[in-house]
Structure 1
Amino acid sequence: MLLLQNAKVEILPNWDHTCLLPCHFLQLASAQITHPLEVDALQAVRRALNDAGKNLNSWKKTDPCVSNWTGEICLMDPNDGYLHVQELNFMWNNLTGSIPKEIGNLITLKLLLRSANQISGPIPDELGSLSNVTILNHDSNNISGPLPKTLANMTTAGHFHLNNNSISGQIPPELSALPQLLHFLLDNNNLSGYLPQEFSRMPNLRILQFDNNNFEGTEIPNSYKNMPKLVKLDLSSNQLTGSIPTNKLANNITTIDLSNNMLTGPIPSNFSGFTHLQRLSLENNNLTGSVPSNIWQNVNFRANATLTLDFQNNSLTNVSGTIDPPSNVTIRLQGNPVCTSASEFNIVQFCGPNIRDDEVSGTSNNTSNPTCLLQSCLASLYMEYVPESPASCFCALPLGVDVRLKSPSMSDFPPYMNAFVLDVTPVLA
């Protein structure tokens, strides 16, 4: 209630006298400024980061959205008239510092991308307040500490890329309450404890990549078979023990990597019949028994598909059935007792030294050309032949390009290497 005592109110001509209190708000809204809470949050983020490369110089300007701070995308909400931050992207800027808790006030944020910096410290619990985030990319930093349970509140998230950090402790089972999650990447961290059975509640999960951690447990969860859309399961380089579950995984699986653990028991026959399988890696475990030949015999291969079966360095003593795989199947058995009787099982060709995938697929990067004289490229030690050049024996300085496959779902890349090189190579007139 507004009380006016002994006050004179003058009604000016052509002035909407109904606007007594809301006028100030309407003037602010019509100016399209960033919401004040988000301004405070962004300024806290700026104070928490060290920008040696001065890539965020524009963050010194007054209003984040109006002055177009680097890496931000904003939209105006007609309900309140303010500009709200939709995307916060400062990947690949060599930033140091930490993640401030105030970032939880950016509640309209949909993309939070901080990959490939040197951000350290823990993930604050307040990050879980960002319930509209669809992509959370914090990979390739120095983030440490445990994963907050509050991340389970990010129910619209489709991508959790937290790999290549120093995150430690047990994965909270509560994160199974992320129904839209597609990619769950936690590889190359210091996580430990058990693998939660609850993750089978993620019906849309396509990539589960937890390799290079310290997970333990007597058995890989049988419940992972309930992920109907899973295409990649990588639990390699952990400390898992026990046997491999006999329940079959999703039919669309392309990659199963359980290598470099302490798994025991036989290779189950449930690995057969996967028409999309490209790699099954079980090397460097303590597996025993027979090599089941039905893994490659019961596959209806797609055109140009290849399959690599790596069983190296186990305790396999036998081969069940006839080992006569198609030409597009590579089997590696070296380091197993069965190779001591290689001639008996007719598996000599599978017991030799390790062969690189590019050699198997005929895509070796050898740049020598026997029809060209070596002296042709001796003008510089860094020059190489260019086989695609219309000029015979043409050599040039190569332009090296590092390509980072952010969300790998295809493990057997060499068959597609030549087409990929042609796609990314510029055509020079």
Structure 2
Amino acid sequence: MELFRCMRLCLCLALAASCFHSSWFLAAGEPVNFDDLRALQALKMAWGGGTDMWVGPDPCVDRWEGVICKGNRVISLYLVSRDLNGIIPPEIGGLSALQNLDISFNDNLRGALPDELGSLTNLFYLSLQKCSFKGEIPSSLGKLVNLTFLALNNNMLEGSIPPSLGALTHLKWFDVAYNRLSGPLPVSTNNRERMGLDTWPVIEHYHLNDNLFSGPIPPELGKAPKCIHMLLEVNKFTGPIPGTFGNLSALEILNVHYNELTGPIPSSLNKIITNGTRGLLQIRVSNNRLTGTVPVFSALTKLEYVDFSNNSFDSQIFPSWLNASASRIQTIRFEHANLTGPLPADILAYPALQGLYLKNNSIDGALTIPVTVGRKLRYVALQNNKIVTILATDRTAAKNVEILLQGNPLCTDPNSIVKPDPKLCNATQPAMEKQWVSPLLNVNNCGNQFCDPGLVLNPLQCRCSRPLVVTLEVRAPTFTHINDLSLWDSLLNQTLTSLKNLTQHENPPLQFEDEQLWIHDASFNGSLLRVEVNMYFFPLVGESMDRVTADFITRSFTLQKVKYYPPFKPELVKAIQNSEEPLSTASSGLSRIAIIGIAVGAASLLLLVGFLVSLACVMKGRVKKERELNPFGKWDNMKGGAVPRLKGANYFSFDDMKRLTNNFSEDNLLGEGGYGKVYKGIQAGTGAMVAVKRAQEGSKQGATEFKNEIELLSRAHHCNLVGLVGFCCEKEEQMLVYEYMPNGTLTEALRGRKAGIEPLDWDRRLLIALGAARGLAYLHDNADPPILHRDVKSPNILLDKKLNAKVADFGLSVLVPNEGTYSFKPTIKGTMGYLDPEYYMTSVMSPKSDVYSFGVVLLEILTGKPPVSSGGHIVREVRSQIDRSGMEGVREMLDPALADTPQDELETFLTIALSCVEDTSLERPSMHEVMQKLEVLVGPKAQIMPGGGKSTDLPKGYDPGRRAPPLSVTDVFSDDFEPASGQFSQGSTSSQRSGFNYSGGFAPFPVQPK
């Protein structure tokens, strides 16, 4: 009776506290506009975890992160790289006062863009960059007549550009690059609306590259007097380059390369006469079908980059008019351009010239090396010409220049009088450097300091923290010498200057110091010679950057407020990666209401805790003996649901685990991750090794996942599935015992991060792919009931001592509820980069979702690259390369270890992989069909696998008719395992941030220890 009275009193106090909090809020002031509140609540429901920081009843008073208010109206919404997941709901149209909307770099935002975006008529900025939006651009965006900035790039948008966008007469920035847009460009003369891309009087940026646009380039685009960048490359445009482009008096960059353009280059471009600091800086027309000769562009005196390569020009001498830009030009490309005659004697003396690329022409005569070679010159590529001699008064003048002359008479004629340096005729030399890495990576400025996993060492401060990583893409760099430290010092200083100037306009002003920015590395990306730069922004204090500063940095980049100058033009953000853990919130963000609410809530909580503690004391003695008698006695406390239903897994006591691991000795530690630690265990008597995965408190894998692995692996027995030996759930512990996999993960093997493993050759990669496919096919077709893995990825494919593949980590796996019925709606889980896009859209999981993930793994096997990198998603990258250059384009992405792989096998493997990653499940094969196709490709090589042969000659343990008997410890290690010796290498900062995802636990294999 006393206990009941105490409970009733506590409930009354809690109710009174709640009523007090509500009444205080209602009296505090004018609430947020109802339409705004309803719209934000709809966004919160639609977008999931990215809006977890939206706490409190009033977005303005409670200062919801990323939400900026003026009065009681929401005027800005900045949620860049916040892991938003879902679609844009139509309720967003209720934010009628919104002026700025930026939800860029949320890869899980998907679906079609709603027509209701057209209701946001006060918008000035709309940035939806690098998400996963599909469908067409809504014509309703034409109602946003105040818009000055529109960025829809790096999505999966399709269809044509609606002519209605021509009504955006204030638009300055238009970026739809890297989509699947098609059809002709709309202009005022080809549609009944009399609107199009030519009815933007103040437009400065046309960024239309990397799409499927077709038809002629409209001459009407020449009516943009303020246009600075005309980026039309990598499309399917036909016809001539419009002569009207000569009217673009402010034009700096003209990119039309990689199209199907014909006819001559218009001489009217010579009218773009330079004035002040502006003028035409770049002309890129390569890889078209242009004819005639290159006009004389003698008036273009500020050119920095020209590329006329790979066209069908008439025979012509090297253009002497380039001498007018001699003081500024950095790169000259005339490859396969039908050039004849000798080179100008002074061309290697141009002071700014870095690269001269003239291979596959008919240039003859002598190559003159002047006494004073340009101090920036690094590359002269003259392969396959007709040069017969070198004229040089001092050959050491070009000692820092890489000169390539193979295929010239100078190198091929045995009677040549001049005997050049053999390295000039060495066909294996590279044509240019591809990557620059900060020298601070190679010089240890901080002694022997190392960081914990997830943290990065700031070499400028010698402090470990979680940086914000911004990847810049320079779509049209003028330089070719990437290992020029002064280049990156300039970029660093320009970025710091821009950000410091911008901080003064924040309210209140922000503090940003030089030591917070480090340019980590830069590299040329593919045949288009774009440059990617990784910039690390470290917090000024603490482990994580406060959210206010992080939002300021991301907003400055996505809205193009950070200004650069050539050679970094045009600069665009390609990726933004936040820290692994949520960024800290600024301490000043709590309102008075929130503080009072917290105080009242804390008082109520203390009363309730007191009651619960007393109740727990009463119950503790009653159940203690029951739990000690039951090996699952503590299962309910672990909140894992019902007791697991086992088929053969062994139960180990806590004392057993201590004996196996030598009392969890650090000498036995193999590695650790989000789940906990992995120890090597040795069986007494047999000497067989096991791997013990021990959860730590607060690990990423909960009791549900722990139970999943026990149940599923205890019933699934196959030589291509990692074997579960047993488990322990005693003394509040969660431990799993697996067979030991000495060669780690497929990820480590592909990236070269596993000591002692040579780069995987083609045959071994095929066998690994087939082994993993067999394991997954068994789960789908022969397990009883069938099993969906739900987290297929290269870190979950383990390699035994013979490099045979075994699928691991069943923490997210589920049983198919009814035989033959696969579709159901679980909570969306998995690993970024491997998730089925159809699963994203519908929340419906099926075996074809595992097939999609496996297809991504196959592309990793082919390229050696992670599924998501600064280059984008591997599926999109491969498809883009195929669209542009066919199989030759894919060969550029191959892992270098596969350079000599037979073409027909590569094409077959690629066909299998791409069939797995089709957008819809109906278009994908089953895992059994994938396995059969791989078996045909592998052929006789399969005989070296366990069990070998084809699907009709199944490996030992693969029994479609009955379940395999339970495995004992002796069974597991009878053939394949033996005690190992040797040391595991010390982990490094680079391996700690290598992109491995251990969500749902991590598998029992040697990983880099802390």
How far did residue 291 of structure 1 move?
Answer: 1.5
Aligned mates of 2:255, 2:173 — CA distance in 1: 16
SS in 2 for 1:128: helix
Displacement after TM superposition at 1:140 (Å) = 0.6
CA-CA distance at 1:313 after TM superposition: 1.3
2:446 to 373, 390, 401: 390
Cα distance in 1 between the residues matched to 2:445 and 2:141: 52
Equivalent residue, structure 2, for 1:44: none
Structure 2 residue corresponding to 1:65, chosen from 92, 96, 99: 96
| Secondary structure in 2 matching 1:403 | strand
AA aligned opposite 1:341 = L
CA offsets per residue over residues 272-295 of structure 1, 9 Å max, x none? 142111100111232222222233
Partner of 2:179: 141
Counterparts of 1:281 and 1:170, CA distance in 2 = 25
1:230 corresponds in structure 2 to: 280
* Residue 270 in structure 1 maps to residue 321 in structure 2: yes
Aligned residue among 357, 360, 363 for 1:316: 363
2:384 is the alignment partner of 1:335: yes
Provide the residue aligned with 1:357 in structure 2: 432
| Aligned equivalent of 1:117 | 155
Kindly indicate whether the alpha-carbon contact (under 8 Å) linking 2:270 and 2:300 is maintained by their aligned counterparts in 1. yes
Q: How many Å apart are 1:253 and its aligned residue?
A: 1.3
Q: Once the two structures are superposed, what CA deviation does each residue of 1:32-88 show, in whole Å capped at 9, x if it has no partner?
A: 999xxxxxxxxxxxxxxxxx964554652452234788439xxxxxxxxx9622122
1:151 partner SS: coil
Deviation beyond 6 Å, 4+ runs, structure 1: 31-34, 392-402
In structure 2, how many angstroms separate the alpha carbons of the residues matched to 1:33 and 1:426? 37
**Corresponding residue for residue 411 of structure 1:** 479
Map 1:141-180 → 2, pairs under 5 A: 141-149=179-187, 150-180=196-226
Mark the structure with the bigger radius of gyration: 2
Is the alpha carbon distance of 1:223 and 1:83 closer, same or farther for their aligned partners in structure 2, counting shifts above 3 Å?
A: closer
The equivalent residue for 2:523 is: none
Report if the CA contact (8 A) 1:333-1:351 is conserved. no
Matches within 5 A, 1:281-320: 281-297=333-349, 299=350, 301=351, 305-319=352-366
Could you tell me which amino acid in structure 1 is paired with residue 271 of structure 2? N
Contact 1:59 1:69 in 2 (8 A): no
Question: Which range moves more in the overlay, 257-266 or 195-204?
Answer: 257-266
Letter in 2 for 1:84: N
Q: Which residue of 2 aligns with 1:186?
A: 232
Q: 1:169 to 1:322 in 2, by over 3 A?
A: same
In terms of mean alpha carbon deviation, does 234-243 or 115-124 score higher?
Answer: 234-243
Residue type of the partner of 2:231? L
- Does the 8 Å CA contact 2:355/2:481 hold for their aligned counterparts? no
Give the structure 2 partner of residue 199 of structure 1.
245
> Secondary structure of the residue that 1:126 maps to in structure 2?
helix
Q: Are the counterparts in 2 of residues 33 and 66 from structure 1 also a CA contact under 8 Å?
A: no
Contact 1:128 1:152 in 2 (8 A): yes
Would you say the 8 A contact 2:204–2:226 is kept in 1?
A: yes
2:690 corresponds to which residue?
A: none
Q: Which position in structure 1 is the counterpart of 2:266?
A: 221
RMSD of the alignment, in Å? 3.6
Task: Give the match's secondary structure for 1:411.
Answer: coil
Structure 2 residue ranges without an equivalent (≥5): 1-32, 37-82, 104-119, 188-195, 388-407, 457-466, 493-517, 520-534, 542-1010
Give me the whole-angstrom Cα distance separating, in 2, the residues matched to 1:402 and 1:413.
22
Counterparts in 2 of 1:389 and 1:230: CA distance versus 1, 3 Å: same
Residues 32/253 of structure 1: CA separation in 2 closer, same or farther (3 Å cut): farther
Q: 1:161 to 1:69 in 2, by over 3 A?
A: closer
**Counterpart residue identity of residue 207, structure 2:** H
Partner of 2:289, secondary structure, is: coil
AA partner of residue 479 (structure 2) = S
Question: The residue matched to 1:153 in structure 2 has which SS?
Answer: coil
Q: What residue is the counterpart of 1:129 in the other structure?
A: 167
* 1:238–1:350 Cα change, 3 Å: farther
Flag the 1:148–1:326 CA change in 2: closer, same or farther, 3 A: same
Contact 1:237 1:260 in 2 (8 A): yes
SS for the counterpart of 1:91 is coil
- Please give the alpha-carbon distance, in whole angstroms, between the structure 1 residues aligned to 2:181 and 2:365: 46
CA distance in 1, matches of 2:85, 2:446: 44
Q: Deviations over 1:312-354 (max 9, x none)?
A: 1111122376655345323211111212136667876765445
Identity of aligned residues (%): 24
3-state DSSP of counterpart to 1:199: helix
1:240 to partner: Cα distance:
1.4
Q: Does the CA contact (< 8 Å) of 1:194 and 1:216 recur in 2?
A: yes
For 2:268, the aligned partner's letter is S
TM-score (norm 1): 0.71
Cα displacement string for residues 95-132 of structure 1 (whole angstroms, at most 9, x for unaligned residues) = 00101222222222111110111000011122212111
* DSSP-derived class of the 1:292 partner: coil
* 2:255 equivalent to 1:209: yes
Pair 1:86–1:225, CA change in 2 (3 A): same
What SS is found at the alignment partner of 2:270?
Answer: helix
- Whether the aligned pair in 2 keeps the contact of 1:58 and 1:70 (CA below 8 Å) is no
- 1:280 paired with 2:332, answer yes
TM-score by length of 2: 0.32
Aligned in 2, Cα 1:94/1:240: closer, same or farther, shift over 3 Å? same
1:205–1:67 Cα change, 3 Å: closer
Structure 2 equivalent of residue 259 of structure 1 = 309
3-state DSSP class of the match of 2:124?
A: strand
Q: Separation in 1 of the partners of 2:145 and 2:342?
A: 55
**Would you say the 8 A contact 1:184–1:208 is kept in 2?**
yes
In 1, the alpha carbon distance for the partners of 2:249 and 2:89 equals 42
1:322 to 1:389, Cα distance in 2 relative to 1, 3 A: closer
Over 3 Å counting, the alpha-carbon distance change for 1:389 and 1:262 in structure 2 is farther
8 Å CA contact retained: 1:200, 1:226: yes
Partner Cα separation in structure 2 for residue 364 and residue 58 of structure 1: 43
Asked if the contact 2:160–2:184 (Cα under 8 Å) also holds between the matched residues in 1, the reply is: yes
* Cα offset, 1:412, TM superposition: 3.1
C-alpha distance in 2, partners of 1:222/1:124?
Answer: 32
Amino acid at match of 2:244: E
Change (3 A) 1:215 1:67: closer
Which of 97, 122, 126 lines up with 1:88 in the alignment? 126
Residue type matched to 2:355 in 1?
T
Displacement of 1:251 in angstroms is 1.8
Equivalent-residue separation in structure 1 for 2:424 and 2:226 (angstroms):
42
SS in 1 for 2:329: coil
Q: Determine helix, strand or coil for the equivalent of 2:123.
A: strand
3-state SS of paired residue (1:341)? helix
Q: Which has the higher helix share?
A: 2
Residue 207 of structure 1, CA deviation: 0.5
Q: Is the contact made by 1:232 and 1:409 (CA closer than 8 Å) also made in structure 2?
A: no
Contact 1:239–1:262 (8 Å) recurs in 2: yes
CA distance in 2, matches of 1:242, 1:347: 35
